[in-house]
Structure 1
């Protein structure tokens, strides 16, 4: 599967810091990152995933309205015949007190993995490597075991 990831902030959200950090972390980990920036529509995610043959689509949202922004997202991806792993992370719900409930909501919307805003990028990178069946390089294995 492709090591290209499409990354962006969905809907009307204009928070850029999180995806900038993710872009740097995923790039440093060897992924080819296509950063769509902020206020990205569902269709723009799908178009980029097709254009770049993405193995993963990573959605960020920090303003608390991700559920509304992601309604029908996987239908759009399916219509474009995209077979990619989908992740979402950030502050996904206003008053997000019970993250397990929030996680379940987004799993029901079709996301393969759901992360809160406190997730270390390395956790998402490790999960994506597992999901895409990418083995770490020798240097990475030595660094992790040290």
Structure 2
């Protein structure tokens, strides 16, 4: 049974390329993806998660204002009965971000389960989702890395 992932770009951000690539990679990995698109508000993320029975919500932001755009996000999810939904955020999350470890900690404290920088490959996010959602590897998935090393 495929897991449902809600995906979108939060706030006034209109960067679409990253979520399009991530959507395709997630679908290829067997996830049911609901792409909310760009300039998505917090209430739209919450409604999407409710309407589709989301297992995870992935928030993207590349214009550097993610902290402002996601303040109160997890409170909204909890109020909607979605406090246990896995949440990720990724992109260029802070203007002038020099120390990503500090940025990561800020968003972890805000409630995000995982925080990724703009250089993260889709496969890394997919592997994290598979782990966090406790999706067992199929035999084919388990054999793939072994064949790649030959």
Query: The TM-score by the shorter chain falls in which range?
Result: over 0.9
RMSD, aligned α-carbons: 1.1
Q: Structure 2: which 5+ runs fail to align?
A: none
Are 2:77 and 1:77 aligned? yes
Q: SS of the counterpart of 2:14? A: coil
- 1:14 corresponds in structure 2 to 14
Count of aligned pairs: 146
> Superposed, which structure 2 residues align to 1:1-146 within 5 Å?
3-82=3-82, 83-146=84-147
Residues of 2 paired with 1:137 and 1:96: CA distance?
38
- Is the partner of 2:40 in helix, strand or coil? coil
Deviations 1:86-130 (A, max 9, x none): 000000000111000000000011000000000111111001100
Divergent runs of 4+, >6 A: none
Which range moves more in the overlay, 15-24 or 132-141? 132-141
Q: Distance in 1 between matches of 2:12 and 2:137?
A: 36
The question of whether the paired residues in 2 share the 8 Å contact of 1:87 and 1:114 is answered with yes
TM-score (norm 2): 0.95
**Shift of the alpha carbon at 1:2?**
6.7
Q: Distance in 1 between matches of 2:87 and 2:2?
A: 13
Name which one, 1 or 2, has greater alpha-carbon Rg: 2
In 2, Cα distance between equivalents of 1:118 and 1:145 = 25
Structure 1 gap segments, 5+ residues each: none
- Partner SS, residue 119 of structure 2: coil
C-alpha displacement at 1:144, in angstroms? Answer: 2.1
